[in-house]
Amino acid sequence: MSLSSKITIVEVGPRDGFQMEREFIPTETKIEIINKLIQTGLRNFEVTSFVSPMAIPQLRDAAEVVARVNRVPGLCLAALVPNPKGAENAAKAGIDEMVVFVSATESHNKSNVNRKIAESLKGFESVAEIGAKAGIPLHGAVAVAFGCPFEGNVAPEQVGNIVERMRALGITGVTLGDTTGMATPPTVRQTTRYLKDRFPEIELALHFHNTRGIGLVNVYEALQLGYQRFESSIGGLGGCPFAPGATGNVATEDLVYLIKELGLDCGVDLEKLIDSAKLVEQAIGRTLPGQVMKAGPRLRPYPRQNHTAA
Ligand code: COA
Ligand code: ZN
Distance CA 109, CA 111 (A): 6
Smallest CA separation from ligand 1 atom 32, residue = 113
pLDDT of residue 243: 57
Mean pLDDT over the full length of the chain: 94
239 and 247 Cβ atoms separated by less than 8 Å: yes
User: Dihedral sign, CA of 255, 260, 264, 268?
Assistant: positive
261-290, pLDDT tens digit by residue?
A: 999 999 999 999 999 999 999 999 989 999
For residue 169, what are the contacts with CB-CB under 8 A and spacing of at least 6? 124, 125, 128, 138
In short, whether 18's Cβ falls inside 6 Å of ligand 1 is: no
- Ligand 1 mutation pick, 20, 21, 49, 51, max ligand atoms within 8 A of CB: 51
Cα separation, 270 vs 193, whole angstroms: 31
Q: Is 101 helix (H, G, I), strand (E, B) or coil?
A: strand
pLDDT reported for residue 45: 98
Q: Is 84 left (phi over 0), alpha (psi -120 to 50) or beta?
A: alpha
Q: Give the containing element (helix H, strand E) for 218.
A: helix 215-224
Which residues fall inside 5 Å of ion ligand 2, going by CB? 16, 249
Does the active-site annotation cover 266? no
Contact 99 CB / ligand 1 (< 6 Å):
no
The ligand whose atoms approach the alpha carbon of 19 most closely is: 1
Query: How far apart are the CA of 209 and the centre of ligand 2, in A?
Result: 6
For residues 196 and 126, what is the distance between their CA atoms, to the nearest angstrom?
27
pLDDT tens for each residue of the chain, 310 residues long: 456 689 999 999 999 999 988 889 999 999 999 999 999 999 999 999 999 999 999 999 999 999 999 999 999 999 999 999 999 999 999 999 999 999 999 999 999 899 999 999 999 999 999 999 999 999 999 999 999 999 999 999 999 999 999 999 999 999 999 999 999 999 999 999 999 999 999 999 999 999 999 999 999 999 999 999 999 999 999 865 555 555 689 999 999 999 999 999 999 999 999 999 999 999 999 899 999 999 999 998 888 887 766 6
- pLDDT for 242 equals 57
